[in-house]
Chain A
């Protein structure tokens, strides 16, 4: 065991104190604050970015090495409040503010540069206050680091390219497409992410679950994140905009008398706390979820066999996310220094099938970040005007009548598509790549709900197939994931082949038009090609707003809208494995 110690002698802290005083005293004349204690200026961030960018582009050069041909800075101001509650009492509360810088510096030229290779994004935390000198100093140092590392990467990439036979699809594709310059400045609305805005809602929603003694544990996690994005590039693009997201997850868990673990949740999403549904409506939804979960304890267990499944409600967009979400991104995977096949790389299994049939002919999918509102005026997380590489967002028709027509593109081109369509999106601590904005799935001949159930009935009549209506799938981004479940997943990865099974949370079995709540089933072999097994599509879309690649401010706000989807052929497996026994004593809530 290594013991480490760090210490500060009084002498040194004194010296630091003096330095700090000196700096703030000298700053009095630049301050907006009459007392002169804090140097802030709303234009300081923009000016610091612009000035250091100009200097770097004109002067930054190491010996005989190349100078940067492109430099882009993105500064995110992060502001987030999180409130957790259980049974009417707050359990945790956090407020966080921070500022981070992503530096995208490129050497070489657009046809072959240091990107699209090994090495990740350059993201660093930088000073929170709008202090010109402090920010410029950070920009200077981070740009210097990015430049040196870019030179190194370019050299390694060149060396690797020399030693590898060029793959046919890499020839003359290039690394960085030329796009129009973007300019967007949106005023930043006043107000911070205040936990107070969520407290009462979290308390009230969590207290609803106190009325359900059959539910063993429950929690409400509410997050309000505000992200201001400032982007400027050596090409002249300037973006200053912001995004707000509110998400409240109400999660409940319990066990059936035979020990089977049961879970359900209901999410509420909005762009501001005021945009959430009325409290009474949210309470009603939580109550319905809790009632259903309580009933699930004594519901019959599903049987293994062939199934026809109607995914409706939130389960439809959840299924689309699973089957299509990452598949329609056209950003090619980065090249590697190692020679060898990339067959193990399953990123974008659909991406190489442009012009081919990838889904049932009745299915269409469009990604349109310019949509203002979803079905029933639902707020859309995935709405934006300019993407994270400074390219204007375009509407992309991805699937038309089951045929893959286009892909979501960033500025990293691919053989078939040379330009970005404004879908470069980045979790705050990673580099941008093509991702879904607002993906809307629709049917060519949409059927009303009753007709969808008739379709299921028809399939059942054929015999040998059990019909189910799945209303909710499990979501691994939910707070407080179960360690037993994690162990099952890990064990699965080691022993079996094929994709991990999909775990539906709320399932009804349909017998002769009658819906019966069932539990304990897993859906197997749901893969992108299952899109071809969709035999009917409903009419009314449901929006699923989520944060991709991280919770709160760090994730990419994304929306998938889908109407109910009927998948005619799904392998249904009865959940197996041993469960812990339910608690020995009844819940204390049951006594009053």
Chain B
């Protein structure tokens, strides 16, 4: 269905979000009622049947009502997450259950890359020689 919808919209691929680390939304009166979701695992699903491609640095942004109204389909594969929600009252434990959802259109944003260089030396676990004394 994702491929068909992407093809119909004239796009090369759709996006499949498999996991997210969290997100936040502004609920204050007068604030923009927008949300941002920070995904961890995102795949490009190509319309031409190529294998899915893992991508990085994609954030989801949007406004809740319009995002909800763009849901086209829901699956029968319910999953539950347990997490903590930081509300006006402080962090409270929350649970939510949902099937996989197909959203017709959602805005994505490229994540700030940061400028830290990777470590200078390779990880010690990648060294060929086992350490002394503990083998």
Q: Which A residues are within 8 Å of any B CB, using their own CB?
A: 1-12, 30, 41, 43-44, 47-48, 51-52, 55-56, 59-62, 132-133, 136-137, 139-141, 144, 147-148
Contacts and interface: CB of A to CB of B under 8 A. Distances in A.
Contacts of A56: 121
B69 interface: no
B81 A133 contact: no
18 contacts: A2-B25, A3-B26, A3-B87, A4-B24, A4-B86, A7-B21, A8-B81, A8-B82, A9-B79, A9-B81, A41-B134, A43-B133, A47-B132, A52-B124, A62-B120, A136-B131, A137-B124, A148-B120
Contacts of B80: 10
Nearest to B129: A51
Contact of A55 (B19, B41, B121): B121
Contact of B120 (A8, A41, A43, A61): A61
Identify which of A9, A12, A41, A61 gathers the most chain B CB atoms within 10 Å of its CB: A9
Interface of B: 18-28, 31, 40-41, 79-88, 94, 117, 119-121, 123-125, 131-135
Nearest to B38: A6
Given A6-B22, A51-B124, A140-B124, A132 B81 contact: no
B87 to A, nearest CB: 5
Nearest to B119: A144
A136 B130 CA distance: 12
Contacts of B23: 4-5
A194 to B, nearest CB: 30
A107 to B, nearest CB: 13
A136 B124 contact: yes
Given A59-B121, A60-B120, A60-B121, A5 B132 contact: no
Contacts of A140: 119, 121, 123-124
A259 to B, nearest CB: 36
Contacts of A137: 123-125
A43 B18 CA distance: 42
B125 A2 contact: no
Interface SS majority for chain B: strand
Nearest to B35: A3
A41 B131 CA distance: 13
A167 B86 CA distance: 51
A7 B82 contact: yes
Nearest to B95: A7
Instruction: Across the A-B interface, give the 3 residue pairs with the lowest CB-CB distance, nearest first.
Output: A7-B83, A6-B22, A4-B86
A300 B117 CA distance: 69
A141 B121 CA distance: 9
A5 B84 contact: yes
Interface SS majority for chain A: helix
Contacts of B81: 7-10
Nearest to B22: A6
Contacts of B28: 1-2
A7 B135 contact: no
Given A140-B123, A148-B117, A2 B26 contact: yes
Nearest to B28: A1
B27 A132 contact: no
Contacts of B132: 47, 51
A56 B119 CA distance: 12
A60 to B, nearest CB: 6
Given A1-B87, A3-B25, 20 more contacts: A1-B31, A2-B24, A4-B85, A5-B85, A7-B21, A7-B83, A8-B83, A9-B20, A9-B79, A10-B80, A12-B40, A43-B133, A43-B134, A44-B134, A62-B117, A132-B131, A136-B124, A136-B131, A140-B121, A144-B119
Given A1-B27, A140-B121, A6 B21 contact: yes
B27 A4 contact: no
Nearest to B18: A11
B123 to A, nearest CB: 6
B113 to A, nearest CB: 17
A144 B121 contact: yes
Contacts of A47: 131-134
A6 B84 contact: yes
A159 B60 CA distance: 42
Contacts of B85: 3-5
Given A10-B80, A47-B133, A1 B120 contact: no
Contacts of B119: 140-141, 144
A9 B19 contact: yes
A12 B117 CA distance: 27
Contacts of B86: 2-5
A395 to B, nearest CB: 38
A505 B17 CA distance: 65
Nearest to B135: A30
